[in-house]
Amino acid sequence: MNPVVLLDLDGTLVDSSQGVLHALRAGFAGAGLPAPDDAVLRTFIGPPVHDSLRRVGVPADRHADVVHGYQVAFAERGNLMTHVFDGIPTALADLRDAGAVLVVATAKPHRFAVPVLAHLGLAGLLDGVVGAPLDESESKGQIIGRALASLGDRRPDRTRVVMVGDREHDVTGARENGLACLGVLWGFGDRAELEAAGAAALVSTPGELAAAALAQLGVRT
């Protein structure tokens, strides 16, 4: 069985901050709520949105209104305000050349993840995409679990699978599924967050990603 690399999207493969912040402001405004400042809104990038809304004190009965406005604004404009981190296409190509199966496991709804990957030219470097349901109700652990299930007969022993992500939710979600997680330092989390969550190792730049992932998987290059 080929080794598998599961990849977070926002903050790992792409910088979606401009579009996400734009869409979040629209979501709060549409729900008649004041938006947190940009520093707080940036912490929404990566985790399931309902977790972030709870964290900033939005009442549960208003979540659907904020999420609806956010998704409308993101679909209309925000999704196209995303760009690929420098070095990511090369890292993905190197991983595939080494025989790794690459699957995105993202808390972004599948409906938005697939077109943005195609728009940015990354779709051809990936073997699969597993995103959140449209209501964004799943935890990162549940999404990672579905990504593993999507492999079917290609699914290897879990020692031959690694998650890559930039937030604590990627690390804890991987652990819930018996996987190690590499934390990346170019995204929206930081060293302290990733170390506290228990990342197996930290990767400083996209140029180091392929080698770090293959080393974690025990693949000799």
Q: What is the longest distance spanned by two Cα atoms in the chain? A: 55
In this prediction the pTM is 0.88
pLDDT greater than 80 at residue 221: no
Burial class (CB in 10 A: 0-12, 13-18, 19+), 56: middle
Digit-coded pLDDT (tens) for 45-88: 878 889 999 999 999 999 999 999 999 998 888 778 899 999 99
Digit-coded pLDDT (tens) for 154-190: 889 989 999 999 999 999 999 999 999 999 999 999 9
pLDDT greater than 90 at residue 21: yes
d(CA 155, CA 163): 14
Catalytic machinery residues: 8
Burial class (CB in 10 A: 0-12, 13-18, 19+), 129: buried
